[in-house]
Amino acid sequence: MTTLYEISQLVDEQIRSDKAPTYLDFYERTFSAVRETPLNILEVGVLNGGGLLMFARYFPNARLLGVDINQPPALFTQRLTEWGLKDRVRVVQGSQNDSAFMTSAIHSFFGNELLDIVIDDASHMYRRTRATFDLVFYSHLRPGGHYIIEDWGCGYWPKWPDGSPNGRRGLPRLVKELDDLVALEDQTRLWQGKRAMKVSETQPSPIDHMIVMPAVVALVKASR
């Protein structure tokens, strides 16, 4: 069977995704078992559309929605038509932190169906990425669904707009907050008469587990 990397190479070089082979290996390992399943996939941050074209061919029964503040180039639309993907791939223009836009974009393409996979490869900035997570993870991702944030390490770069070398701002800050969320049950557990958070009952985490790798953070939503 053709690998995700091999499929990525079928996309014209000028619109090909710049996802590095390590990212593609991760996606292959995580999703090869469900490759033929009808999936609902959201990619936030489309650029030239190479990632969407690649995933659309890798997942032949998936529907894919892309969201970006800019429109992809004409070559992307041309390839969608030539490769017969127009019915199951759509791109809409808007910002990831505009919750009314995001809600309407998701509903108009997927109806009331929940998402199976979300890939946030858009601004890579704390507030916008957090806004997308707060909306999409809680309201649109199915229990057991995957939520992936790419390129979080750029938040350590001193010249990144919200970067800082100590990792207290930008996406490293978000990763720490997500880590806290994984530990919500312990934070809210009564221990020696005290709780880390002001709640009266232990609260289960909305996250089943989280994988943190260089460049990619991947969460699986709790099934409860």
Ligand X SMILES: C[S@@+](CC[C@H](N)C(=O)[O-])C[C@H]1O[C@@H](n2cnc3c(N)ncnc32)[C@H](O)[C@@H]1O
Residues lying near ligand X in the complex (CB under 6 A): 17-19, 43, 45-48, 50-51, 67-70, 95-97, 121-123, 128
Nearest residue (CB) to ligand X, 126 versus 205: 126
Answer yes or no: are the C-beta atoms of 214 and 153 closer than 8 Å. yes
Nearest residue (CB) to ligand X, 12 versus 185: 12
| Least distance CB 52 / ligand X (angstroms) | 8
Nearest residue (CB) to ligand X, 116 versus 121: 121
Nearest residue (CB) to ligand X, 46 versus 178: 46
| Least distance CB 136 / ligand X (angstroms) | 12
| Least distance CB 109 / ligand X (angstroms) | 16
Alpha-carbon distance of 57 to 4, in angstroms, equals 9
Alpha helices, DSSP H, located in the chain: 4-8, 21-31, 50-58, 74-82, 99-110, 126-132, 138-139, 170-182, 184-188
| Least distance CB 172 / ligand X (angstroms) | 18
Helix (H, G, I), strand (E, B) or coil at 216: strand
* Residue 24 neighbours by CB under 8 Å, 6+ apart: 3, 4, 5, 8
Nearest residue (CB) to ligand X, 17 versus 188: 17
Q: Which residue is nearest to ligand X (CB)?
A: 51
Write down the residue that tokens 């091999």 correspond to: 6
| Least distance CB 162 / ligand X (angstroms) | 12
Alpha-carbon distance of 148 to 133, in angstroms, equals 10
Rounded to 10 deg, the angle between the 74-82 and 50-58 helix axes is 20
Alpha-carbon distance of 20 to 98, in angstroms, equals 29
| Least distance CB 26 / ligand X (angstroms) | 13
Nearest residue (CB) to ligand X, 50 versus 155: 50
